[in-house]
Each structure stands twice: as C-alpha cells, then as structure tokens.
C-alpha cells in the first residue's frame, strides 16, 4: 500500500468519525432508532477495519524504512538501497579487487581506506536484533538516542533533595533551602571490537556468508554487553547493577536481612522486594543466575511444600512474589558470606547509550597466505543504573 492510499484511508476514517459523532450527538438524550443503530454499527465496524489497516501498513512502512527497503513495490531492481546491500554482501564474500569500485562508493568519508566499509542499514538492523535477543537488558533497560556529533551524553541529576516544608504563622518569614543540589550523569560509549577469520573455501561454498558473520558477531557482542551490564566496573566499559558504586547503585541499596551467610531465604527475598518504594513496584523485576533460581525453587515451607511455583506456561516468565524473574549467566553465583546473589528493581532505570554506527572492516589480503579473509567489527556503548532507589540488591549475610 502506498503512502497516498494510506492517506485516503485516513480521510475516510475522519469522515466516519464525524458521522459517528453526529449520530451520537443527535440522540444523546433519546433512544437511537433501529435504522440509526444499524447505521452506527456499520460505521463503527468500518472505522475499526480501516484503523487496523492503517496501523498495520504504517508499521510495515516503518519496518521497511528501518531496514533500508523501499515501500514502493514497483521500484526497479536497481534501487540504490538494494544495490548497496548486494554490493556489501558481495564484498563480504570475496573482498577482492573486482569490488574496489563498489566498496569505494560505500565509503562515507575515507577514500584512502579502500577496505573500510560502513554496513548497509539492513545488515546493521539485523545485527542489532541479534544482540537484543541475546541480552535481555537491552529489552528491559532504557536505550538512549544514539550519539550524534558528540563524544558523550550528559543528563542532569538531582543529587540531594530539597529540605522539608515547615508550618509557620501568617507573617512568619520562610527559611531558604540550602540542601537541594544537582549534578550530571555522563554516558561515554566505550569501544569494543570483534574479529572473525573465515576461509575463502567456506565463503565460496556457504549460501549465507553475511548471516554466519552476523550471528557470530551477535553472540560475542551480546555476551560482552550482558557481562558488563551485570558486573562491569564502569572503567572503559558499562557499570553493572551488581557493582557497588556511588555512580550507580551504592551499598545503601544492599539487603541481607533474612538471608544466611550461604543461602537465600524467602524472608530475605521479601525484605529485598519491599526495600523498593511502591512507585517502582509496578514494573519491577528480578535478576538471578540460574544457580540462584534453582536454590530459590527448592525453598519449602514448614509443611514441606515448595514456596515458589515456577511458570508452567510456555513463553511466560517465572514469577517470584508476583514479579518476573530474569536469568543471566553473568549474574553472580558464588554463595559466600557478604556476596551479591540477586537484584530486584525497575530495569527502566538502567540506561544504555550507543554510538551512532556499527563499523565493519574487511581485510582481504592480510591473511591471504592462509587462505582466509579477516572481518573486524566495532561497536561503542555505555550503560549504568541512574536511580539507585529503584533497585535493591539481594546479599548474603
């Protein structure tokens, strides 16, 4: 469906809306006659049909724009976006001099670097989707707009709350506040790289070379990011939720009451949940390593009954104290006194900031003696918790 056809549907929807409103206003103080009731039902049904079509088509147009495809289905096969994508895949397959003119055209601003490529938009979108599927934090956290024209992104923060208001008399002078203070939270995407060597034999025979490379890069970048989002120290990498830091979640948000030195107890989980204010409870979730989940699943009451009942419905997350449980292989799983073993909180208050683009370099000659082509990928990202009070860490006693 073209943009004009969508516009025509919107105009028809507007006409139907006016008709529906006219009937409702005409009979707002009286019963609607049978013929008008039938007319109203037909208008409402047509409105719903058109509205659903508009929503579907606009979402599809947005998807097509996101992957660099055209919404004009009659466009010739030489469309520029298709041409660029095909050229990129061809270059990834051979990387030889025959593609020099093609990948020269794909360069953004470095004509002297003949082997340097900025991936076409469709390839990048597919890679980002792979990362999202691997790293659940990217789905739960707030992903900030990509940086453009700057090395870092700063957000103002309130570092100290204003003093409490006080009662007085009619003519009493107020006391000026001196405690309210503001600071800045800065995100500076950190570079990360991955390198893959692929044999020319595999490239010649594989039906989906770019898919192989994309999947492998998605895995290594996904594992790297999830590890940092959990336990990164913030030095040249994101700051993790399981790291005690005044720049993220400080030790004041640690909850060990109710747990023993070696075991998570149900009382300890209750303490952690209700250490978080009610305003954050609506969308709060848990994070544990699977080893911790296994221990929690084995907890029993005094009658020997399991306290926690994991989900038995496919694609439905386990619920603990009414909140979803996320499992990460990079969450802590050492059960020793004083260590972190879980987290509860609103994950929207973990923010992620990416740089503008993901870059790929194809080195066709460097490993020619070993019959291989070298692919180097680079991303830049940062992340950190931005509001400590939205979280509580489960800690052993």
Q: What is the bridge-based pairing of β-strands 323-327 and 285-288?
A: parallel
**pTM of the predicted structure, to 2 decimals:** 0.67
Query: 56-67, pLDDT tens digit by residue?
Result: 887 777 766 666
Closest to 226 in 3D by CA, of 359, 383, 60, 31:
383
Query: 224-245, pLDDT tens digit by residue?
Result: 999 999 999 999 999 999 999 9
Work out the angle at residue 361's Cα, subtended by the Cα atoms of residues 359 and 362, and round it to the nearest 5 degrees.
Answer: 145
| Average pLDDT score over the chain | 81
Q: Tell me the C-alpha distance between 239 and 53, whole Å.
A: 43
Closest to 342 in 3D by CA, of 365, 326, 355:
326
Query: 308-356, pLDDT tens digit by residue?
Result: 866 656 567 788 999 999 999 999 999 999 999 999 999 999 999 988 5
């Amino acid at each position: 469906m073209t943009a004009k056809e969508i516009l025509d549907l919107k105009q028809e929807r507007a006409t139907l809306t006016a008709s529906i409103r006219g009937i409702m206003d005409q009979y707002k103080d009286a019963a609607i006659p049978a013929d008008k009731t039938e007319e109203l039902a037909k208008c409402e049904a047509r409105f719903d049909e058109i509205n659903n079509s508009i929503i579907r088509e606009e979402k599809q147009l947005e998807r097509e724009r996101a992957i660099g495809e055209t919404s004009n289905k009659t466009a010739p096969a030489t469309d520029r976006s298709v041409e660029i994508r095909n050229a990129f895949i061809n270059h990834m397959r051979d990387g030889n001099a025959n593609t020099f003119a093609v990948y020269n055209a794909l360069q953004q601003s470095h004509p002297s670097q003949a082997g340097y490529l900025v991936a076409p938009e469709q390839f990048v979108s597919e890679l980002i989707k792979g990362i999202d599927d691997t790293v659940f934090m990217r789905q739960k956290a707030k992903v900030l707009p990509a940086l453009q024209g700057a090395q870092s992104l700063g957000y103002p923060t309130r570092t100290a709350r204003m003093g409490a208001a006080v009662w007085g008399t009619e003519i009493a002078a107020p006391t000026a506040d001196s405690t309210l203070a503001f600071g800045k939270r800065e995100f500076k995407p950190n570079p990360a790289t991955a390198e893959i060597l692929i044999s020319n034999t595999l490239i010649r025979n594989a039906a989906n070379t770019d898919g192989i490379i994309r999947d492998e890069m998605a895995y290594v970048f996904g594992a790297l990011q999830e590890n940092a989002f959990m336990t990164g120290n913030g030095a040249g990498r994101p700051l993790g939720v399981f790291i005690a830091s005044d720049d993220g979640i400080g030790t004041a948000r640690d909850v060990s009451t109710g747990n023993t030195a070696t075991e998570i107890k149900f009382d300890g989980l209750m303490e952690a949940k209700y250490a978080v204010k009610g305003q954050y409870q609506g969308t709060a979730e848990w994070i544990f390593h699977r080893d911790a989940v296994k221990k929690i699943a084995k907890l029993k009451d005094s009658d020997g009954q399991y306290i926690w009942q994991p989900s038995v419905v496919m694609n439905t997350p386990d619920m603990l104290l009414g909140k979803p449980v996320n499992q990460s292989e990079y969450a802590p799983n050492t059960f020793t006194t004083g260590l972190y073993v879980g987290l509860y909180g609103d994950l929207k208050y973990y923010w992620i900031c990416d740089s503008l683009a993901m870059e790929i370099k194809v080195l066709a000659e460097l490993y020619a003696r070993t019959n291989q082509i070298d692919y180097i990928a680079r991303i830049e990202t940062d992340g950190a918790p931005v509001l400590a009070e939205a979280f509580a860490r489960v800690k052993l006693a």
